[in-house]
Amino acid sequence: MSKTTSNMVEVSYDNKVVKAFIQATLLWGFVAMLLGVTIALQLANFNFNFDLPWLTFGRLRPLHTNAAIFAFVGNGMFAGVYYSLQRLLKARLFNDTLSWIHFWGWQLIIVAAAVTIPFGFSQGKEYAELEWPIDIAITLIWVVFAVNFFGTIKKRREKHIYVAIWFYIATVVTVALLHVVNSISLPVSFMKSYSFFAGAQDALIQWWYGHNAVAFFLTTPILGLMYYFVPKAANRPVYSYRLSIIHFWSLVFIYIWAGPHHLLYTALPEWVQTVGMAFSVALWAPSWGGMINGLLTLRGRWDKVKTDHTLKFLATAVTFYGMSTFEGPLLSIKSINAVAHFTDWIVGHVHAGTIGWNYMLTAGMLYYLVPKLWKAELYSPKLANLQFWLATFGLVLYIVSMWVAGITQGMMWMAVSPESGNLIYPHFIETVTQIVPMYWVRAIGGILVLTSFGIMIYNFWKTIKSSNRGSEMDNEVAQVTSNMDQGTGKPKKAHQALEGLPAIFTILVFLSVIVGTIIELAPTFLASSYIEKSEDVTPYTPLELLGRDVYIKEGCYTCHSQMIRPMVNEKLRYGHPSHISESIYDHPFQWGSRRIGPDLARVGGKYPHMWHYRHMVNPREMTPGSIMPNYPWLIKNRYNLKQLQTKMKVMVSLGVPYTEEEIASAVADATSQAEEITESLVEGGIPAKIQDKEVVALIAYLQRLGTDMQFEDEDESDESINEGEGE
C-alpha cells in the first residue's frame, strides 16, 4: 500500500468563516424570534403596535418571516454547509475572498431588509417582500456562494460525493431559480417596483416560490446537515444509504409540484389544484423516508440521546420534521384545507417546521460545532438542558394554541344554521375575540422559545470566552488521503473531477426541478383561462392605484385576503366567489394567505367612506374588540402624485390598458376623485385639507374592490358552489 502514502496530502480547512456564520446565526436568530414575539403580542393586544408606522403588524410580520428564513436559517445553513463540505470533500473552500464576500454580502442584505421593510418598502409578495435592488444583491451573493461551492467540489480529494452534498446541490440550484423567477418586476423608482406577473399567474408563481422556499431553503439543506451531523454525533453511519438516495430523488421531484396546495378553492383551474393536492399527499412518503433514516441512525444510541445535547436536539428536530411533514400533506387534502386555510392552523404548522425542525436542528449542530471550533468545553450542560425543555415546551404551547385557534375560527366561519340557512356567526369580530386568549398562549410559547434561544447564546458566549484564544483553530490542518485517482496516485486534474458525477448530477437535479416547474407554470402562459379578460373589469383609476400602493406598503395582506372561495358560507359572508379575471390587473396579486381580519375582495360599497375613515384611524370605534392596528399616520401623510404617471406607464408595459389620455390626465383625475371622497367626509365633519392624504387614496381603492363584475344569475352560479363544504 505504498500508494496510500503518496496520496497523503495536507489540507487546511477554513474554520474562520464557519465561525463567523455561527455568530451571525446566533445574532439573527435572536432578532427573528424577538420580532416573532412582538407580532404575537400585537395580535393578543393591539396596543403593542404603539401607533408607530414602522412597528405595526403589517410591516413587522414580513420582517419576521424574512429574518427567520433568510437570516437565521440562512446563516445556520451556510455555517453547516461550509463546515461539512470541506471535510466531506477533503478540500479547503474554493476561495477565501469569495467566502468573505458571501459572508459580508449576506449580512448586508439582512441589514438592508431590516432598514427597508419596516419603512414600507415592499413588493407585497410573501417571503419575497424585498425591493428590487436588494433582490439583485441576493442574486449576486447567491452566485458567489454557488461559485465557491462548486469550486470546492471541483478541487476535492474525495472521489465520491456524499449524500449530504447532493442535498446542498439541490438547494444551490433551485433557490437561484425560484428567487430569480419570482422576483421579476419592473422598477418604478429606486425602491418601488411592480411584479411582472399579475393575478392568478402571479399567485401561482408566488406559491410555486413560497412553497419551494420551504422545500429548498428550510428543508433540503437542513436534511443535508442531518445526513452529516446525525451520523457524526452518533458516531455511526447513516442507517440506510440506499434509502437516502431514494429519499433525495423523490423529494426533489415531488416538492416542486406541491405549491398549488396554497391555492385550493381559489379561482385557479381545478386540475392545477388537484395536481397540487395529489403531489402534496405523495410528499408524505419521501419525507417520512428521511425521518426514519435519521431516527434509525440513532438506534441503539438512545441512552446517549438523553445525555448528549447535540443528539438530543437533533433527534427532536427529526421527530418534529416527521410531525410537520405528516401535517402538511394532511392540510393539502381539500376537505381539510377548506377548514384550515386562512386560519392559524397553518401558522402553527409552519412553526412546527421552523422551530421544531430548523431551530432544533440548528441548535444540535451548534452544540456540536461551538466547543469543537473554539476548542473549549461547553460552559454549562445544565443550561443546555434548560434551553431544550423551554424550547420544547414553548413550541408545544405554540402548536396547540394554534390548533385550537385555527380549528375554532375555521368552524365558526363555516357554521351555517340548517334551519334559516344563515351564518351562525355573521360578525367576523366574534370569531376573532373568541381566539384572542389563544393569541396570549401563543405569545407565551413564543417568549419561552425566545428565552431558550437567549440561554443558548449566553451558554456559547461563556464557552467562547473560556476558550484559550491562541488555540482557536481558524485554519485546521488535516492529513488526508486523496482517492481521486487510484491508478497514478495523483489527484486528477481539476476539470476532470468536475466532469464526473457532480456535473451530471447537477444537471439531473435541474431537470427534475425545471420539468415540474414548466408543467406547473406553462399553462398560465398558454391557457386562456388564466388570462380570461372580462369586458367588465377595467384598470384601477389613478387614485385607486395610489391607494393600492398604500395597501401594499402597510402590509394589509398579512391580515386580509382578497379571495372568496366557492363555498356556501363564504358566499353568505363575503358575496359571490372571486372570479379569475377580477385580479387580472393586480401587479402583484393580493389574494393573501391568512384572515386575521375579514376578506376584502368585495368590500367595495359595503360601507360609506366615513366608516372607512374612522375605522382606519381607530378600528375599535367602528368594531369594538377589533385587533386591527390604528393607522393615524394615513391622515397625515400625503400620497405621492409625482410618481403617478411613471407608475401608470410601468403598468402599461406590464399589459394594463391605460390610454395615453388617461396617463396625461392622471393627476387631474386623481385629484378630482379625491375631492369627491373628501366631500362626503367633510359632511361628516372632517376638515377638507384631508384630500391629499393617503387615507383618501386607500378609501378609493377599498371602495373599488370587487365592484367591477356583476353576477346577475345568482341561482345558477350557486350550483358551482360546493355545498358539502358549507356544513
Does residue 428 belong to the site contacting ligand HEC (CB under 6 A)? yes
- The grid coordinates of residue 353 equal 417546521
Smallest CA-to-CA distance from 221 within 233, 209, 212 is with: 212
Could you give the 3-state DSSP secondary structure of residue 92? Answer: coil
C-beta of 435 vs 464, nearer to ligand HEC: 435
| Closest residue by Cα to residue 497 from 172, 167, 159, 173 | 159
Shortest CB 214 distance to ligand HEC, Å: 23
Contacts of residue 403, defined as CB under 8 A and 6 or more positions apart, other chains included, come to 345, 348
- Is residue 556 within the footprint of ligand HEC (CB under 6 A)? yes
With vertex at residue 371, the alpha carbon angle to CA 370 and CA 376, rounded to the nearest 5 degrees, is 135
Q: Is 591 in the site for ligand HEC (CB under 6 A)?
A: no
Q: Which stretch binds ligand HEC (CB under 6 A): 219-227, 383-391, 483-491, 593-601?
A: 593-601
Smallest separation (angstroms) from other proteins to the CB of 264: 16
Give least dist CB 64 to ligand HEC, A.
13
Counting contacts by CB under 6 A, is residue 702 touching ligand HEC?
A: yes
Record the cell numbers describing residue 456, joined without a space.
Answer: 443558548
Contact between 57 and ligand HEC per CB under 6 A? yes
**In angstroms, what is the minimal distance from the CB of 201 to ligand HEC?**
24
The three cell numbers of residue 270 are 381545478
The number of C-alpha atoms within 13 Å of 59 and in the hemisphere containing its C-beta is: 22
**Distance of alpha carbon 419 from alpha carbon 432, whole angstroms:** 25
551 binds, among ligand HEC, other proteins, none (CB under 5 to 8 A by kind): ligand HEC
Q: Of ligand HEC, other proteins, none, which one sits near residue 566, judging by CB under 5 to 8 A according to partner kind? A: none
Among 340-348, 380-388, 594-602, 671-679, which window interacts with ligand HEC (CB under 6 A)? 594-602
* Residue 528 touches which member of ligand HEC, other proteins, none, C-beta under 5-8 Å by kind: other proteins
Which residues lie closer than 8 Å to 653 by C-beta, 6 or more apart?
186
Distance between CA atoms of residues 598 and 432, nearest Å:
10
Residue 241: name its binding partner from other proteins, ligand HEC, none (Cβ under 5 to 8 Å by kind). Answer: other proteins
What residues between 315 and 354 interact with ligand HEC by CB under 6 A?
Answer: none
By CB under 6 A, residue 295 contacts ligand HEC = no
Question: Cα separation of 596 and 109, whole Å?
Answer: 30
- Cα–Cα distance, 574 to 600 (Å, whole number): 8
Q: What CA–CA distance (Å, rounded) separates 530 from 120?
A: 30
Q: Are 233 and 308 in contact (CB under 8 A)?
A: yes
Residues 6+ apart with CB under 8 A from 320: 352, 353, 355, 356, 357, 360, 395
Question: Looking at 598, 604, 706, 726, which residue binds ligand HEC (CB under 6 A)?
Answer: 598
Q: In angstroms, give the least distance from the CB of 478 to other proteins.
A: 5
Cβ closest to other proteins, residue 110 vs residue 165: 165
- Smaller CB distance to ligand HEC: residue 290 or 629? 629
Q: Out of 353, 410, 577, 597, point to the residue binding ligand HEC (CB under 6 A).
A: 597
623 binds, among other proteins, ligand HEC, none (CB under 5 to 8 A by kind): ligand HEC
Among 153, 267, 603, 700, binds ligand HEC (CB under 6 A): 603
Which of 432, 498, 513, 650 touches ligand HEC by CB under 6 A?
432
Which residue of the chain is nearest ligand HEC when measured via CB?
597
Distance CA(25)–CA(82), nearest Å, equals 14
Binding site for other proteins (CB under 8 A): 8, 12, 84, 87-88, 90, 158, 160, 162-164, 228, 231-232, 237-238, 241-242, 245-246, 249-250, 253-254, 257, 269, 271, 275, 471, 473-481, 512, 515-516, 519, 522-523, 526-528
Q: Would you say 170 and 509 are in contact if contact means Cβ atoms under 8 Å apart?
A: yes
Interface with ligand HEC includes 627 (CB under 6 A)?
Answer: yes
Q: What share of the chain is helix, strand, coil (3-state, %, to 5)?
A: 70, 5, 25
Torsion 440-446-449-451 (CA) sign: negative
Phi, psi for 129 (deg, rounded to 5): -70, -25
Name beta bridge partners: 475: 14
Among 143, 243, 429, 635, binds ligand HEC (CB under 6 A): 429
Interface residue with ligand HEC among 413, 551, 591, 658 (CB under 6 A) is 551
Number of residues located near ligand HEC, criterion CB under 6 A:
27
Tell me the backbone φ, ψ of residue 10, rounded to 5 degrees: -100, 130
Q: Interface with ligand HEC includes 581 (CB under 6 A)?
A: no
Phi, psi of 480 (to 5 degrees): -120, 155
Rule CB under 6 A: is residue 639 a binding residue for ligand HEC? no
CB of 230 to other proteins, least distance (A): 10
Q: Applying CB under 6 A, does 369 fall inside the site for ligand HEC?
A: no
Q: Which region, judged by CB under 6 A, interacts with ligand HEC, from 135-143, 153-161, 363-371, 598-606?
A: 598-606
C-beta neighbour count of 633 within 10 angstroms? 15
Contact 399, 351 (CB under 8 A): yes
- For position 502 contacting ligand HEC by CB under 6 A, the verdict is no
158, 202, 554, 582: which one contacts ligand HEC (CB under 6 A)?
Answer: 554
The binder of 109, among other proteins, ligand HEC, none, by C-beta within 5 to 8 A per type, is: none
Under the criterion CB under 6 A, does residue 311 sit at the interface with ligand HEC? no
597 binds, among ligand HEC, other proteins, none (CB under 5 to 8 A by kind): ligand HEC
Please choose which of ligand HEC, other proteins, none residue 554 contacts, taking the beta carbon within 5 to 8 angstroms, the exact cut-off set by kind: ligand HEC
> Any contact of residue 623 with ligand HEC (CB under 6 A)?
yes
Number of CB atoms found within 10 A of residue 562's CB: 23
What the block records as the C-alpha cell of 301 is 444510541
For residue 153 the three cell numbers come to 467540489
Residue 29 and residue 667: Cα distance in Å, rounded?
Answer: 46
- In the bound state with other proteins, the residue whose beta carbon lies nearer, of 38 and 266, is 266
Minimum CB–partner distance for residue 537 and other proteins (Å): 22
The cell for 272 is: 392545477
Report whether 571 contacts 723 (CB < 8 A): no
| Residue nearer to ligand HEC on the CB measure, 506 or 590 | 590
Task: Look at residue 271 and give the partner it binds from other proteins, ligand HEC, none, a contact being a CB closer than 5 to 8 Å depending on partner kind.
Answer: other proteins
Q: Which does 87 bind (CB under 5 to 8 A by kind): ligand HEC, other proteins, none?
A: other proteins
246-249 long-range Cβ contacts below 8 angstroms, 24+ apart:
246/286, 246/289, 247/223, 247/286, 247/289, 247/290, 247/293, 248/163, 248/166, 248/167, 248/170, 249/512
Taking CB under 6 A as the binding criterion, the range among 263-271, 314-322, 362-370, 428-436 that sits at the site for ligand HEC is 428-436
| Least Cβ distance, residue 550 to ligand HEC (angstroms) | 7
| Residue position matching grid coordinates 395582506 | 557
Three-class SS of 654-675: CCCCCCHHHHHCHHHHHHHHHH
Of the pair 115, 245, the CB lying nearest other proteins is at: 245
To ligand HEC, the closest distance from the beta carbon of 344 in angstroms equals 12
**CA 85 and chain centroid, separation:** 26
E strand or H helix at 444, and its extent?
helix 436-466
- The rounded distance, in Å, linking the Cα atoms of 206 and 124 is 11
Segment contacting ligand HEC by CB under 6 A, of 256-264, 358-366, 550-558, 664-672: 550-558
Does the protein bind ligand HEC through residue 438 (CB under 6 A)? no
Question: Nearest CA to 309 among 219, 225, 391, 217?
Answer: 391
Judged by the rule CB under 6 A, the positions of this chain that interact with ligand HEC are 57-58, 428-429, 432, 551, 554, 556, 558-560, 596-598, 600, 603, 606, 612, 619, 623, 626-629, 631, 698, 702
